[in-house]
Amino acid sequence: MLDQAAIDVLRNQPVAEQGHFVNGAFAASREGATLEVLSPIDGKPLTRIASGTAADVGVAVEGARKAFEDGRWSKTAPAHRKKVLLKLADLIEAKALELAVLGVRDNGTEINMAFKAEALSAAGTFRYYAEALDKIYGEIAPTADNVLGLVHRAPVGVVGAIVPWNFPLMIGAWKIAPALAMGNSIVLKPAESASLSLLRIAELASEAGVPDGVFNVVTGPGAVVGEALALSMDVDILVFTGSGATGRRLLEYSARSNLKRCYLELGGKSPNIVFNDTADLAKAAKVSAAGIFRNSGQVCVAGSRLLVQEDIHDDFVAAICREAEALKVGDPLDLSSQIGAVHSLTQLEADLKFVETAEAEGAERRTGGERILTETGGYYMAPTVMSGVKPGDTIARKEVFGPVLAVTAFKDEEEAIRIANGTEYGLAAGIWTSDLGRAHRMISGVRSGVIHVNTYGGSDMTVPLGGMKQSGNGHDKSLHALDKYVDLKTAWIQL
């Protein structure tokens, strides 16, 4: 159980200025530039980080390539890599509270969620891929007589990874762990506003025995560091979680450089569909509220569109509003807070603008919709429910990435599927019904990479996460994620 006194001790510790982590050591930017990090808890400066340049990226990529080619990690036995990654998982778990508090001070996620979904989740991810890596075999093909066909799985080389600010440890681990498990080297670019916990993970990886140059972190603006990573002729694949606009630019950079493979987990506008035969509507309301308002709605799979069957619409919206109003928004390092801070002032202002636009387009604000706790200096927003949202409204089509729920009524399955599929996204969805046949029809009809039935959220490492349509390509999590980090090499041997 988390202890408030221990959290308070960690929250008051100064955070030293942070450099890049390259070739096994921290280093300042080659130009000496830094960026100020503001805490969303109170809007005050927390520390400074190195503001990277293309030259910094070049040094990191060169070190990663050298480490890959000389085999200090890529050519080691799977049993060795397994041992190191298990040790790293243990170190992350031992430092879980420290990592969680550091991350919360950086990005504003409520500590109860951050401890489990960030630090402990990252430890579990490294453990999962450590246990898996020595169980991935090559193949023997059923060839003609006197021929032996072998299919080898070889590490790709240098992986460029760009991760967002909302769950940097969890999403970072989804990319770092399988890439390292398969023997690759990595250059990681965290969000400039949420780099601290990932820099600490790189330090722990070195302590666990990951060789110098194998795991590097370069911090700084995406327009500089991310672009340099994507344009590098010596990065073999690029993995990214973030916005569709940035994803498009990364594909362009791939085409302009070495045609590196790009795996993109992009945005979502996920429909959460409640039918009138739902067995427990009170539970559905509580879980659906958590599905949009946890982490202030800053979750890629958040159920941001609530589709409710017409004959239960009014009662269910009233129940959702009660759940929203009961949630305690506050200091994310206070264990009594259920919802923490919006990540930045820029994000908060964008969220509020979406509410304003929704009202102008005819939606009704049922609860929330305003900035709160302004006396703290931090960035907090009341959980917001907008009803009467039409499928073509801005708030029904665009990813808000904030604590804002758009509610739309529907008549039947056919209309629910049409509305659910009526955006450019296809990341996640939820279905609430007691009819098993209906559940399967909806699973088949709704175009989403993840579909929850009679729940929302909570899947573990055993299943993949990936999107359809403009929500991206490739998969994080599960054994399927390993496919991104290997090349298939055929050996056709005449006997």
pLDDT at 458 over 90: no
Nearest to 430 by CA among 303, 322, 337, 314: 303
1 confidence band (pLDDT: 50, 70, 90): confident
488 phi and psi angles, rounded to 5 deg: -90, 130
* 432 bridge partner residues: 274
For the beta carbon of residue 418, count every other beta carbon within 10 angstroms.
12
| Cβ-contact 153, 203 below 8 angstroms | no
| Cβ-contact 159, 109 below 8 angstroms | no
pLDDT at 368 over 90: yes
For 271-460, CATH number? 3.40.309.10
- Ranges of each domain in the chain: 4-266+472-494, 271-460
Averaged pLDDT, 462-466: 97
For the beta carbon of residue 357, count every other beta carbon within 10 angstroms.
14
For the record, the structure tokens of 180 come out as 């390292």
- Per-residue model confidence (pLDDT) at position 489: 97
**Spatial separation of the C-alpha atoms in residues 398 and 395, rounded to whole Å:** 6
Nearest to 300 by CA among 124, 115, 471: 471
* Sequence-ordered alpha helix ranges (H) in 238-312: 244-256, 281-293
pLDDT at 297 over 90: yes
58 confidence band (pLDDT: 50, 70, 90): very high
Residue 470 vs residues 29, 92, 163, 394, 463: alpha-carbon distances, Å? 35, 34, 18, 17, 21
**Spatial separation of the C-alpha atoms in residues 30 and 8, rounded to whole Å:** 36
pLDDT tens figures, 148-177: 999 999 999 999 999 999 999 999 999 999
Nearest to 398 by CA among 310, 270, 285: 270
**Spatial separation of the C-alpha atoms in residues 269 and 252, rounded to whole Å:** 24
**Spatial separation of the C-alpha atoms in residues 246 and 227, rounded to whole Å:** 10
Sort residue 360 into left (φ over 0), alpha (ψ -120 to 50) or beta. Answer: alpha
Per CATH, 4-266+472-494 and 271-460 having the same topology is answered no
| Cβ-contact 368, 322 below 8 angstroms | no
Averaged pLDDT, 303-329: 98
Give residues with Cβ within 8 angstroms of 47, minimum separation 6. Answer: 14, 15, 16, 17, 18, 37, 196
In the 8-state DSSP scheme, what is residue 117?
A: I
Q: Three-state DSSP class for 45?
A: strand
- Per-residue model confidence (pLDDT) at position 364: 98
What average pLDDT does the structure give for the chain?
98
pLDDT tens figures, 243-285: 999 999 999 999 999 999 999 999 999 999 999 999 999 999 9
Q: Three-state DSSP class for 85?
A: helix
383 confidence band (pLDDT: 50, 70, 90): very high
Q: Is the pTM of this model over 0.75?
A: yes
| Cβ-contact 202, 192 below 8 angstroms | no
For strands 147-155 and 486-494, give the pairing: antiparallel
Which residues are part of the catalytic machinery?
265
pLDDT tens figures, 63-106: 999 999 999 999 999 999 999 999 999 999 999 999 999 999 99
pLDDT at 144 over 90: no
**Percent of the chain whose predicted confidence (pLDDT) is above 70:** 100
Give CATH superfamily name and number for 4-266+472-494.
Answer: Aldehyde Dehydrogenase; Chain A, domain 1 (3.40.605.10)
Averaged pLDDT, 456-464: 94
**Spatial separation of the C-alpha atoms in residues 121 and 164, rounded to whole Å:** 16
* 152 bridge partner residues: 489
pLDDT at 415 over 90: yes
CA angle 392, 248, 473 (to 5 degrees): 85
- Per-residue model confidence (pLDDT) at position 16: 97
Give residues with Cβ within 8 angstroms of 282, minimum separation 6. Answer: 319
